[in-house]
Amino acid sequence: MVENIKDCDRIHLFRDIRKEEIEKMFRCSKTVERSFEDGKYIFRQGGTPRNLFLVLEGSVMISKDFASGKRDVLFIVGQGDVFGEMFLFSDAGAYWYDAIAQGKVKVLEIPWEFFYCFCSNACEHHRMITRNMLEIQSEKNFAMTRKLHLLSGTTLRERIALWLIEQTEDDGVDSDIVRLAMNREELADYLGTTRPSLSRELMKMQQEHLIEADKNTIRIVDRDALQMLY
């Protein structure tokens, strides 16, 4: 049972699709709504992919765990975003990563069969959501390419500088404030380092008046100096 979805027009997956058509799509696809508590797994690596997921409330951490105990945070998925899409048209028979709820999370699960098979009525909403899904996949591919570029930095300081500059550019506003969607440990995993190493480098950068770091925000003090690092 799917409850009334708020702000459908702001969700990329439903772009250009009327509300009544979205409701029809839910019935046609047998979409279900599920809730998860903080730290619960929505799916785990090794599981069998069957659904596309859309975040209705909260955020989800997409990460990869290794036998050594190391965790690589790939990205954070926020409200209105989808995840699990990379398995949709691939031959992969198992999830390569984990999806973990950050705080209380509510998601939609849309079975893959809906994207593979067009109904006999050739519904317009079916064509539109497939187009939107392809656009989302392109954006996700770009995001992963950016992360590869980020991790190519030879030093931790270079990676931090590049990540901070990219975050302010993504906001689309003239701001030097980066609000952290991840805690320090998750950010360290994302940047390919340890939490103590990240904390030490942030402290050094603050002492050199490059940044000002708080618990939930980092302010860029000297943008020119950061840009010269990479």
Task: Tell me which of 88-102, 134-148, 175-189, 201-215 is least confident.
Answer: 134-148
Q: State yes or no: pLDDT of 206 exceeds 60.
A: yes
Average pLDDT over residues 165-190: 81
Q: State yes or no: pLDDT of 202 exceeds 90.
A: yes
Q: Where are the alpha helices (DSSP H) in 68-151?
A: 113-116, 124-151
Q: Which of 116, 132, 124, 106 is nearest to 51 (CA)?
A: 116
pLDDT at site 119: 57
Instruction: Between 107 and 8, name the one with better pLDDT.
Output: 107
Instruction: Between 110 and 112, name the one with better pLDDT.
Output: 110
Average pLDDT over residues 17-41: 89
Instruction: Between 67 and 132, name the one with better pLDDT.
Output: 132
Report which DSSP code applies to 37. -
Q: State yes or no: pLDDT of 224 exceeds 80.
A: yes
Q: pLDDT tens, 72-105? A: 888 899 999 999 888 876 777 889 899 999 999 9
Rounded to an integer, what distance in angstroms lies between the CA atom of residue 185 and that of residue 212?
A: 18
Rounded to an integer, what distance in angstroms lies between the CA atom of residue 228 and that of residue 9?
A: 40
Helix (H, G, I), strand (E, B) or coil at 13: helix
pLDDT at site 87: 81
Q: State yes or no: pLDDT of 5 exceeds 70.
A: no
Rounded to an integer, what distance in angstroms lies between the CA atom of residue 220 and that of residue 46?
A: 40
Q: Any long-range contacts for 60-65 (C-beta under 8 Å, 24+ apart)? A: 60/99, 60/100, 60/101, 60/102, 60/105, 60/107, 61/98, 61/99, 61/100, 61/102, 61/182, 61/186, 62/97, 62/98, 62/99, 63/97, 63/98, 63/100, 63/189, 64/96, 64/97, 64/98, 65/98
Task: Tell me which of 1-5, 93-97, 124-128, 204-208 is least confident.
Answer: 1-5
